[in-house]
Amino acid sequence: MNRSGLEIGSLNDLLPTSAINLHLASTERREVLQELVNQIAEIAPDAAARKALLHALEEREKLHSTGIGDGIALPHARNALVGVVEHPILVFGRHSTGIPFGAIDGAPARLFFLIVAPTVTQHLAMLARISRLLRDPKLRQGLLGAETEVEVRELLRAAEARM
Looking at the chain, the whole-number percentage of residues with pLDDT higher than 70 is 93
97/99 Cα distance (integer angstroms): 7
What is the tens place of the pLDDT at every residue in 88-109? 999 999 999 999 999 999 999 9
Residue 126, classified by CB atoms within 10 Å of its CB into exposed (0-12), middle (13-18) or buried (19+), is: buried
Would you say residue 90 lies in a domain? yes
Would you say residue 69 lies in a domain? yes
The separation between the first and the last C-alpha atoms of the chain, rounded to the nearest angstrom, is 16
pTM of the model: 0.91
Would you say residue 3 lies in a domain? no
- 8 Å CB contact between 56 and 115: no
Number of domains in the chain: 1
Would you say residue 59 lies in a domain? yes
What's the pLDDT at 17?
A: 94
Please name the residues in contact with 13: beta carbons below 8 A apart, sequence gap of 6 or more: none
Alpha helices by DSSP H, listed for 42-98, are 47-63
What is the tens place of the pLDDT at every residue in 131-151? 999 999 999 999 999 999 999
Would you say residue 2 lies in a domain? no
> For position 149, which CATH number holds?
3.40.930.10
Average pLDDT across the chain, whole number: 90
Q: Check whether 3 has a pLDDT greater than 60.
A: no
Tell me how far CA of residue 152 lies from CA of 16, 51, 81, 84, 92, in angstroms.
11, 27, 26, 26, 9
Would you say residue 5 lies in a domain? no
Residues spanned by the domain of 91: 11-162
Would you say residue 128 lies in a domain? yes
Residue 134 has what DSSP assignment? T
Taken in order 149, 155, 161, 163, the sign of the CA dihedral is negative
Q: Is 76 an annotated catalytic residue?
A: yes
What's the pLDDT at 6?
A: 43
Q: Which of 23, 55, 64, 76 is catalytic?
A: 76
Average the pLDDT over 153-161 and give the result.
95
What is the tens place of the pLDDT at every residue in 72-89? 999 998 766 667 788 899
Would you say residue 22 lies in a domain? yes
